[in-house]
C-alpha cells in the first residue's frame, strides 16, 4: 500500500515514520523545511529563547543562594539567535535523517490534490510531477491570522514567523494578542530589557484558562515591567520611520519600534484540492471522523487543518491514528478529553481536561483540590514558590481536569494527563507514593485536600 503525506510538520513527518514502520510504501511532500511551524518558527525556537532568559534571571538573582558576582550578567541577542538557529538546524537535519533511514521518499514542492488518489507536485524550480497513492494524508499546517487593518508588513508589523528570525533586538514592542505566543515572547523580550506592552481583546491574557491560574502569571509579568491591557481592542495602527503607533479602543496610544500580531492561526488549505473533490469543511477547517478520515474515504487530514487543538502533540497523535486506520491496524480513534496545554513562561502554566470555567458553563457538579507551591519544601528550597496545583473531580471523585501554574508545570502535568486519560479517581491516585522532596508532592497534597 502506498501512503502519501502532504506536509512535513510534526503531524506529517510522524505519520510518515509510522507508515514506514508498518511496512507501507511512503512518500512525503514538503515545500520548505521539515518540522513545520513547531520546529522552524514556533515551539522549539521559543523554548530555546526562553531557556536563555531563565538562565539570565537565575544569574541576576543568584545572591539569594549565597552566590555573588553574577548579578551583572549581560545577554548578547545575536548569540542567543545564533544558538536558536543551530538547534533548529540540528533538529531539521535529524528529521531528514530519519526519513532517509526509514526509506521514506521525500518530494520537494507544493502538493495539490487532483482527485482522491492523485497529487500534483509543483517543485520549487517550477517543474510539475504527478503521483498516485492509495491513501493521502493532508498535514499542511497553518499560518498566522493577520487582519489587514493591523498593517502587517513583515518588518515593523510582524507575525511570530518574522520576529523569531530578527537579528536585532527591538527597543520596544507592542504585542497584539495575549495568548501563548504573546505571553512567551513578551516575557522573553522584556527580560532582555525591551519595553513590552501586551494588548488582549478578552478580559484576561490566556483567555482559555481559569482566572486564578492566570492571575499568578499576570502578577509576575507586571512585576517584571510588562504593561498588560485587557478587554481592549486595537482601533488603528499608524507607521512611520520611527516606529508604530497603536491606538486602543479606550483612547490609549502606544508607541513602539515594532508590533507583533499574535491573534490566532488559520489552516493552510487554500487551493489544496480540485473544486470537484468534495472534501467537507467547517469554518475553513476540514471535517474528519475519529480516525481522521475526511468526507472522501481514502483522504485523511490532521493537525492545524482540522477541528482540533492547534498543538504539535495533537497533530502527531492524529498522524499515527490516520496511518493505522489506512493500514487497517487502528484499535482506537482519537480522543481529545485529555490534551495537555502548556505555556512556557515563568511561572509555567499547564492544563489538562476541563477547567473550572468549562465545568460551570456545562453545568457540571464538581469539586477542586488545591495546594500552593509556597507551602512545599522543595519549592522553598529552590525559591520557586509562585503558583499551585489544582485538581478538578466530578461527583464520582473521578479526575476530569487539572491546572498547574508554577515551576516545571509543563512536566508535572503529565501525571495528571494520565489520570484524566485513564479516568482515574482521587483514591486511585492517592495510592501512589510521591518522592520527597519534590515539586510533584504538590499533586499529592492537592489530592489530600479532598
Name the residue with cell 539569594.
64
Active-site residue, from 51, 337, 436, 448:
436
The residues with which 246 forms a beta bridge, in sequence order, are 237, 254
Name the residue with cell 534571571.
57
Does the annotation mark 337 as catalytic?
A: no
88 vs 93: CA distance, rounded Å: 9
Question: DSSP assignment, residue 226?
Answer: -
**Among residues 374, 380, 439, which one has the least CA distance to residue 411?**
439
Instruction: Please say whether the beta carbons of 174 and 256 come within 8 A.
Output: yes
**Among residues 386, 436, 384, which one has the least CA distance to residue 64?**
384
Helices of type H across 154-296: 160-163, 180-191, 211-223
Sequence-distant (6+) residues with CB within 8 A of 214 are 204, 205, 206, 349
Which set of grid coordinates corresponds to residue 100? 532517509
Residue 320's Cβ-count burial label (10 Å; 0-12, 13-18, 19+) is buried
441 vs 443: CA distance, rounded Å: 5
Can you list the positions of beta strands (E) in 231-379? Answer: 234-240, 243-248, 253-256, 258-261, 265-267, 281-282, 285-286, 299-301, 341-343, 348-353, 367-372
DSSP code string of 323-362: HHHHTT---S----TT--EEE-SSSEEEEEE--HHHHHHH
Catalytic residues: 436
Amino acid at each position: 500500500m502506498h501512503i502519501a503525506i502532504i506536509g512535513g510538520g510534526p503531524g506529517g513527518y510522524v505519520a510518515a515514520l509510522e507508515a514506514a514502520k508498518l511496512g507501507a510504501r511512503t512518500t512525503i511532500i514538503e515545500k520548505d523545511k521539515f518540522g513545520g511551524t513547531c520546529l522552524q518558527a514556533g515551539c522549539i525556537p521559543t523554548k530555546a529563547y526562553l531557556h536563555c532568559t531563565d538562565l539570565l534571571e537565575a544569574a541576576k538573582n543568584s545572591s539569594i543562594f549565597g552566590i555573588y558576582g553574577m548579578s551583572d550578567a549581560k545577554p548578547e541577542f545575536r548569540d542567543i539567535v545564533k544558538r536558536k538557529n543551530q538547534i533548529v538546524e540540528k533538529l531539521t537535519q535529524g528529521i531528514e535523517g530519519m526519513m532517509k533511514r526509514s526509506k521514506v521518499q521525500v518530494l520537494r514542492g507544493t502538493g495539490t490534490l487532483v482527485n482522491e488518489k492523485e497529487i500534483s507536485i509543483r517543485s520549487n524550480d517550477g517543474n510539475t510531477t504527478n503521483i498516485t497513492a492509495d491513501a493521502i494524508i493532508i498535514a499542511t499546517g497553518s499560518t498566522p491570522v493577520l487582519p489587514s487593518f493591523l498593517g502587517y508588513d513583515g518588518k515593523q508589523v510582524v507575525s511570530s514567523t518574522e520576529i523569531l528570525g530578527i537579528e536585532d533586538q527591538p527597543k520596544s514592542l507592542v504585542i497584539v494578542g495575549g495568548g501563548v505566543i504573546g505571553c512567551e515572547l513578551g516575557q522573553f523580550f522584556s527580560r532582555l530589557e525591551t519595553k513590552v506592552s501586551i494588548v488582549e481583546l478578552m478580559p484576561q491574557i490566556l483567555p482559555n484558562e481559569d482566572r486564578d491560574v492566570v492571575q499568578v502569571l499576570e502578577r509576575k509579568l507586571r512585576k517584571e515591567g510588562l504593561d498588560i491591557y485587557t478587554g481592549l481592542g486595537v482601533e488603528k495602527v499608524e507607521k512611520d520611520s520611527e516606529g508604530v503607533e497603536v491606538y486602543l479602543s479606550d483612547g490609549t496610544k502606544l508607541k513602539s519600534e515594532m508590533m507583533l500580531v499574535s491573534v490566532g492561526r488559520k489552516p493552510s488549505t487554500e487551493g489544496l484540492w480540485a473544486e470537484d473533490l468534495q472534501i467537507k469543511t467547517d469554518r475553513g477547517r476540514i471535517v474528519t471522523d475519529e480516525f481522521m478520515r475526511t468526507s472522501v474515504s481514502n483522504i485523511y487530514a490532521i493537525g492545524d487543518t482540522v477541528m482540533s487543538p492547534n498543538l504539535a502533540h495533537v497533530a502527531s497523535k492524529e498522524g499515527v491514528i490516520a496511518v493505522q486506520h489506512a493500514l487497517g491496524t487502528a484499535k482506537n480513534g482519537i480522543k481529545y478529553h485529555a490534551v495537555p496545554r502548556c505555556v512556557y513562561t515563568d511561572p509555567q502554566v499547564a492544563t489538562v481536561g476541563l477547567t473550572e470555567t468549562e465545568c460551570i458553563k456545562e453545568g457540571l457538579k464538581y469539586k477542586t483540590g488545591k495546594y500552593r507551591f509556597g507551602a512545599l519544601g522543595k519549592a522553598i528550597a529552590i525559591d520557586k514558590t509562585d503558583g499551585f496545583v489544582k485538581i478538578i473531580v466530578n461527583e464520582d471523585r473521578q479526575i476530569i481536569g487539572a491546572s498547574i501554574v508554577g515551576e516545571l508545570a509543563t512536566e508535572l502535568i503529565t501525571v495528571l494527563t494520565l489520570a484524566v486519560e485513564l479516568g482515574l479517581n482521587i483514591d486511585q491516585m492517592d495510592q501512589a507514593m510521591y518522592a520527597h522532596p519534590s515539586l510533584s508532592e504538590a499533586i499529592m497534597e492537592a489530592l489530600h485536600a479532598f
